[in-house]
């Protein structure tokens, strides 16, 4: 009975030991994915910012500038790309809407971002654009991969339409979460004007005035290392309209401000990430390690039952052997006594 129990325990232990790496290296990459039809929004604000008054072409200080970023998953387009390429992708149609203190639109920049649902790496399947201009992304955008590493990544900047390293600057605590802090500085760069601007202003209108747009920013992210989702983001952002071919003429500040995520959106993001990170930890840590630990415990128990069963069987066999020998010698001794020999 003990031998049968030890064999059953051994079989279960082997199964659990094999299940642990399967959960981590096979199931996790196939189950941990960004949903194709997800929808997210974030509101960021820059208080006491400098903003260009396009009616007078003069900068002024305003109490607040608001940026609303929306990410909408295009599930139909994702299925189309999957059929054409075989990749499991997510297609995000995004919009960055900037408005002044009176709520009037300052600029709108739409994007389409196509990326692998698990690794977050760009998939070049056509249709990628920034402000209706085709682009070919290199590196991540908006979200880091699952299980973020303590290293630099390449991050795509929608204003310059280029990628550059975003640097890992250490581990920090944010709202009770241990997060990785990343930072990127984009130097002054000549960038396109948005197609959608206030008061009917167009890029051609600005160019006809002899002006071109330049931009710089210091970008900061606090990233959850488990899900790869930023729980907070800030930018120290500056834009100027510079006179074409006239470096001696003073530039016009189009926008300058410290852009921060609104506190209520930070709270909502932290709550969402906290719930999602439990699911990722379940597949990458809790279940694999629990399975391996339980398998090791059952293996030890099976070996213990086997070891306890062996001495008893050996003792029982030896006793039977001695008893048989005694029975065979007894008649010989009785014969010696009957002949008067010494016992």
| 48 and 15, same domain (yes or no) | no
Q: Are the beta carbons of 44 and 262 closer than 8 angstroms?
A: yes
19 and 52 in a single domain? The answer is: no
Number of domains in the chain: 2
Is residue 6 assigned to a domain?
Answer: yes
**Spatial separation of the C-alpha atoms in residues 271 and 229, rounded to whole Å:** 12
- Per-residue pLDDT, 342: 40
Same domain as 245, residue 134: yes
111 assigned to some structural domain: yes
pLDDT at 71 (0 to 100): 94
State the SS3 of the chain.
Answer: CHHHHHHHHHHHHHHHHHHHHHHHHHHHHHHCCCCCCCEEEEEEEEEEEEEEECCCCEEEEEEEEEEEEEEEECHHHHHHHHHHHCCCEEEEEEEEEEECCCCCEEEEEEEEEEEECCCCCECCCCCCEECCEECCCCCEECECCCCCCCCCEEEEECCCCEEEEEEEEEEEEECCEEEEEEEEEEEEEECCCCCECHHHCCHHHHHHCCEEEEEEEEEEEEECCCCCCEEEEEEEEEEEEEECCCCCCCCEEEEEEEEEECHHHHHHHHHHHHHHHHHHHHHHHHHHHHHHHHHHHHHHHHHHHHHHHHHHHHHHHHHHHHHHHHHHHHHHHHHHHHCCCCC
Q: What is the pLDDT of residue 85?
A: 86
Same domain, 43 and 21: no
Asked if residue 277 is part of any domain, the answer here is no
Same domain, 217 and 291: no
- Do 120 and 243 lie in one domain? The reply is yes
| % pLDDT > 70, the chain | 86
Please check whether residue 338 lies inside any domain of the structure.
no
Cut 0.75: pTM above it: yes
The CA distance from 29 to 298, in Å, is 28
Examine the domain organization and report whether 169 and 48 are in the same domain. yes
User: Does a structural domain hold residue 332?
Assistant: no
Domain for residue 233, yes or no?
yes
pLDDT of residue 336: 41
In a domain, 341, yes or no: no
| Residue 254 and residue 154 share a domain | yes
The reported pLDDT for the residue numbered 281 is 82
What's the domain range around 16?
Answer: 1-31+283-327
Low-confidence ranges of the chain (pLDDT < 50): 313-315, 319-320, 324-343
Q: Are residues 51 and 17 in the same domain?
A: no
Q: Indicate whether 138 and 194 sit together in one domain.
A: yes
Regarding whether 303 and 177 lie in a shared domain, the answer is no
Is 309 domain-assigned?
Answer: yes
Confidence at residue 246, expressed as pLDDT on a 0 to 100 scale? 87
Residues 43 and 53 in one domain: yes
pLDDT of residue 189: 97
pLDDT at 28: 78
């Amino acid at each position: 009975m003990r031998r049968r129990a030890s064999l059953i325990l051994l079989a279960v232990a082997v199964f659990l030991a094999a299940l642990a790496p399967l959960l981590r290296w096979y199931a996790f990459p196939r189950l941990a994915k960004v949903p194709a039809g997800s929808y997210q929004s974030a509101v960021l604000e820059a208080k006491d910012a400098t903003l260009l008054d396009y009616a007078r072409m003069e900068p002024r200080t305003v109490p607040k500038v608001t940026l609303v970023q929306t990410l909408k998953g295009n599930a139909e387009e994702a299925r189309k790309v999957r059929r054409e390429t075989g990749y499991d992708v997510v297609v995000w149609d995004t919009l960055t809407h900037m408005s002044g203190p009176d709520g009037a639109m300052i600029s709108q920049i739409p994007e389409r971002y196509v990326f692998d649902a698990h690794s977050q790496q760009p998939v070049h399947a056509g249709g990628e654009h920034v402000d209706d201009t085709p682009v070919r992304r290199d590196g991540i955008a908006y979200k880091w991969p699952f299980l973020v590493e303590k290293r630099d990544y390449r991050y795509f900047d929608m204003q310059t339409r280029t990628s550059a390293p975003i640097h890992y600057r250490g581990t920090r605590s944010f709202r009770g979460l241990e997060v990785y802090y990343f930072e990127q500085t984009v130097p002054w760069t000549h960038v396109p004007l948005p197609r959608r601007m206030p008061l009917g202003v167009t890029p051609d209108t600005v160019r006809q005035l002899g002006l071109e747009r330049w931009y710089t920013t210091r970008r900061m992210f606090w990233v959850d290392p488990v899900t790869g989702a930023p729980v907070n983001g800030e930018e120290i952002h500056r834009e100027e309209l510079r006179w074409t071919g006239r470096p001696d003429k003073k530039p016009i500040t189009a926008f300058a401000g410290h852009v921060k995520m609104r506190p209520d959106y930070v709270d909502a993001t932290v709550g969402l990430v906290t719930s999602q990170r439990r699911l990722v930890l379940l597949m990458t840590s809790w279940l694999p390690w629990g399975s391996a630990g339980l398998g090791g415990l059952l293996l030890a128990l099976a070996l213990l039952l086997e070891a306890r069963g062996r001495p008893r069987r050996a003792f029982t066999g030896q006793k039977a052997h001695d008893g048989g020998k005694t029975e065979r010698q007894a008649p010989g001794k009785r014969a010696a006594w009957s002949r008067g020999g010494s016992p």
